Amino acid sequence: MSVMERRLIREASFGLTSKFWQISWIYVVLLCLLASVGYVALYSAAGGSPEPYASRHILRFGFGLTLMLSIALVDIRFIARLSWLAYAGCVVLLVLVLKMGHSGKGAMRWIDIGGMQWQPSELMKIALILALAHWFHKASWERMGNPLFLIPPALAVLVPVGLILKEPNLGTAVITAVVGFSIFLGAGLRWWKVLLLIGCVGAAAPVAYNHLHDYQRARITTFMSPESDPLGAGYNIIQSKIALGSGGMWGKGFLQGTQGHLNFLPEKQTDFIFTMLAEEFGLVGGLALMGLLGLLIVGGMLMALRCRHQFGRLVALGISMNFFMYVVVNVAMVMGAIPVGGVPLPLVSHGGTAMITVMIGMGLLMSVHVHRDVEFGDGRDEI
């Protein structure tokens, strides 16, 4: 090995070490705390056993944590160059899901990759954030006012949303659309266009309702009046409300939740994990968990504000908004504030694809933080 090669290796090693220590370790600790809450909840959901949920949860988190730290060390400019390639790959996966995916509970959402089942719609949200951030990087105020400039990114949002609706997966489609819309806002979309879009969505709502699947309309009807079918469509949300109320201020105690452990509470390891935690640890426990989730969301937003380049700001904004939507939709769903939509609580609910997707997003967030001061150049085509 020549002297020059040894010097390059030393410089590369020093660079990686420097980046490693620039990672926000406080944020990593918060993620570990949240995953630990998930382990405790899933341990309880299995009746006081690490199998079959809690052990898999912590193994997946360990893999996801390694993946997150690896992504954090990758130069954000290199990630930017792969944005549209990742987007195209995820669109292909969504098409394949409709052609040869696996169905579950009336929906075609999963596909086998490498011997594992993946939900491409979750990966699509991350790829969409990267693609939109790439498009709007260095976009001037004048270009943001040009409708022709906004058509390609609008289509980039509508294509995956349409494919996800075909699965059908209304909850994820809505979250994907909201996350994409947040990137438009962060890039400087005119407010009159925002109001116009909201008006169009409101006007189209009755038409969209008529095109929903029967089970989706039933969810909306159940949301309006769950007591109309207490043993059928309204059963889940009624039992969730009972569990939330019975927890009181301090809860019934760990492993003492009656609604969860007597199997009145459905899907307690996935969609209704927050309800089970609130029953056992009460209002105080639920608020503590919400506080931890809030710290992660605020931390992501602060990383966006501290970043010097537009691409990183938009990526951090999109990742934080995606995490925020996970939390808001899940918690509002189990409280009966919105229709049940099958959205997990990040790093707490049982589920492989959601866990890995969240950790990939957190890796991108960390990469933005580590490379917050890098120079991207003067033009969008240079990244």
Domain residue limits, the chain: 26-374
Q: How many CA atoms lie within 13 A of 8 on its CB side?
A: 5
| pLDDT score at 62 | 95
Can you tell me the distance from the alpha carbon of 110 to that of 119, in angstroms, rounded to the nearest whole number?
5
Show contacts of 212-218: CB within 8 Å, 24+ apart: 212/170, 213/106, 213/168, 215/106, 216/168, 216/170
Question: Coil, strand or helix: which one is 107?
Answer: strand
User: Could you give the C-alpha distances from 41 to 214, 227, 278, in angstroms and in order?
Assistant: 33, 28, 10
Q: Which residue has the tokens 């490693």?
A: 20
pLDDT recorded at residue 19: 84
Sheet containing 107-113, strands listed edge to edge, beginning at the edge strand earlier in sequence: 102-104, 107-113, 116-118
137: Cβ contacts below 8 Å, ≥ 6 apart: 80, 309, 310, 311, 314, 376, 380, 383
pLDDT at 367: 95
| Coil vs helix vs strand at 109 | strand
| The predicted structure's pLDDT at residue 343 | 84
- Measured between alpha carbons, how far is 383 from 354 in angstroms, rounded to an integer? 29
Count CB-CB contacts under 10 A for residue 206.
8
pLDDT tens across the length of the chain (383 residues): 554 445 444 544 557 788 888 999 999 999 999 999 999 999 999 888 999 899 999 999 999 999 999 999 999 999 999 999 999 999 999 999 888 766 655 566 777 776 667 888 999 999 999 999 999 998 888 888 888 999 999 999 999 999 998 887 888 888 999 999 999 999 888 776 667 766 776 666 666 666 566 656 666 666 555 665 565 557 778 888 888 888 889 999 888 888 877 777 777 888 889 998 999 999 999 999 999 999 999 999 999 999 999 999 999 999 999 999 999 999 998 888 777 777 889 999 998 788 999 999 999 999 999 999 988 764 444 44
Q: What is the pLDDT of residue 68?
A: 96
Nearest to 220 by CA among 166, 171, 270: 171
pTM of this structure = 0.89
pLDDT for position 203: 67
| pLDDT number for residue 47 | 84
